Structure 1
Amino acid sequence: METVGEIMEKLIQKVLVQRGECPECGQPLYGWRTKNPDGSERCKPTCMQCGYKALRVQEDLQTERIYNESLKARAINFFKGGSVVPNQALFDCTLQNYQIVDQETRQAVEVTKRFVNSVLLGNPSHLVLTGKQGTGKSHLAMA
C-alpha cells in the first residue's frame, strides 16, 4: 500500500514541473505543467519547502514601478496646476519632438542633452539658454 507521501509525490509529478531553485532555501521551485488558455503561466513557481513564491518578487517590483509612476504623475500635476508657465503646450515638449533646423538648434539640443545626462548622474549642474526669439529655448527648458 502506498503512503500519503508517495501519493502526493505522484500527484506533484503529474501536475507540476520543476522550474528552478528557490533563492531562499535552495529547494526546487514548482510550477503548473499546463498553462492558461492564453498561453500565460497559471501562477509563478512556488517552493514547497519554505513557501517562497517568485510572484512576491514580481509584485514587489510592480508595486515599486506603480509607486514611482504615481510620484511622477503627482509631481507633473502639481507642476501643471501651480505653474506660472502661461503656455500649457510647453508641457508637451520633449527632446524627441524638438525641431532641429540649423547648426544653432543642433548645438542647443546637444548642450541640453549633456546637461540632462549630468543631472541624471547626480552631478550638480546649471544651464542658461540664450539666443534669439523662436530658437526653442522654452521648448528645451521644459523638455
Structure 2
Amino acid sequence: MNAMTSFDQFKTVQAAQICPIHKTEMIKFGPTAQCKACAIELVKQGNIEHDAAVNEMVRKNHFAGAKLPERHAECGFKNYAVNNHGQQYAKETCLKFAKLINSGSVANLIMVGRTGTGKTHLACAIARNVLDARKFARYVTSEQMATDIADAWKKADDSEASAIYRYTEYDFLIIDEYGLHDQHEKLLQLVHKVLYARYDAKKSTMIISNWTKEQLQQSLGDRLWSRFQHDGLTLVECNWADARIGSGVGGV
C-alpha cells in the first residue's frame, strides 16, 4: 500500500445520515460518520477539559509550594469560628489585610496572644487568599527558617545568602512561633536577617507569636520594629480563651 492509497482511505465523503442534534448531513472520515458541528464541539470540549486539568495541576503545585501545615491546609475565613468580638475583629482585620496584599500594596501583620486562639488558622486563610490571586506565599516557623538557613553553611551548593534570598522572594511570608524555639542568639540573628532583607525588598511579612506586643517589640529591637511599621503595620492581639480545649474551630 503506497502513501497515496493510505491517505485516500481517510478522505471525507458525505454519509447517508443526518445528525439528530444539528439536523445536518454527516460526513465520513475513514470508517466513522460524524457531524461537523459535533466534531468541533468535541474538540473544544477536549481542549477545555485539558486546560482545566492543567490549571488544577498548576494550582495544586502552587499551593504545595506554600507549605501550609496539613492541619491548616483548608483553613479559610468562612470556617473560622467567631464566638466573641475579639475573634470578629481578628477575622475582619485579616480579611482586609489579604485584600490589601492582593491589591499590590506592601504591608506587615503581627498577631500576638495566647495559644489556641486561631492565629495560625487566620494566617493560613490569608495565605490561601494570596495564593488564589496567583501570588507566592510561604508558611514557616521561626525555628524552621533559621535552621534551614544555618544548614546552608554545610552544603557545597548553598550559602547563607542564597537561603535568605529564598525566603525573601515570596510575596507574602508567614513566620509562626516567633519566640518559641528561636531565641538562641545565632538563630535569632538569622531570623532578623530575613526580616531586614524582606524590608529592603518591599515584601509583606506576617509574624505570629504567643508573646505580648511588648515582648515581641523588645526582641525585634528598635531598628527592626521601626522598619516593620514603615510600610504599614497591622497588629492583632488575641487574648480570648484557648479554643483547642473546647469545640471552636477558630482556635485551631
Report the TM-score when normalising by structure 1: 0.53
1:6-45 aligned within 5 A = 11-13=16-18, 15-18=19-22
Equivalent pair of 1:47/1:53 in contact (CA under 8 Å)? yes
CA distance in 1, matches of 2:47, 2:108: 37
Q: Cα gap change, 1:94/1:142 in structure 2, threshold over 3 Å: closer, same or farther?
A: same
Partner of 2:111: 130
Secondary structure of the equivalent of 2:17? Answer: helix
Partner of 1:62: 49
How far did 1:66 drift? Answer: 1.1
Specify the code of the residue in structure 1 equivalent to 2:117. Answer: T
Secondary structure of the equivalent of 1:47? Answer: helix
Secondary structure of the equivalent of 1:124? Answer: coil
> What per-residue deviation string (whole Å, max 9, x for no partner) do you get for residues 43-101 of structure 1?
x96339xxx61122222222121112111222333433xx7xxx642334222221111
Q: CA RMSD in A?
A: 3.4
Report which of the two has the higher share of strand. Answer: 2
> Does 2:85 correspond to 1:103?
yes
CA distance in 1, matches of 2:98, 2:51: 24
Secondary structure of the equivalent of 1:79? Answer: coil
Residue in structure 2 matching 1:46, options 32, 36, 47? 36
Gaps of 5+ in 2: 1-13, 27-33, 126-252
Q: Cα gap change, 1:61/1:115 in structure 2, threshold over 3 Å: closer, same or farther?
A: farther
Specify the code of the residue in structure 1 equivalent to 2:22. Answer: Q
Equivalent pair of 2:94/2:122 in contact (CA under 8 Å)? yes
Q: Cα gap change, 1:115/1:130 in structure 2, threshold over 3 Å: closer, same or farther?
A: same
Secondary structure of the equivalent of 2:21? Answer: strand
Equivalent pair of 2:82/2:88 in contact (CA under 8 Å)? yes
Give me the identity figure in percent: 18
Count of residue pairs brought into register by the alignment: 104
CA distance in 2, matches of 1:57, 1:118: 38
Gaps of 5+ in 1: 1-7, 20-27, 32-43
Secondary structure of the equivalent of 2:88? Answer: helix
- Higher RCO (CA 8 Å, separation ≥ 6 residues): 2
Partner of 1:35: none
How far did 1:102 drift? Answer: 0.8
CA distance in 2, matches of 1:93, 1:109: 12
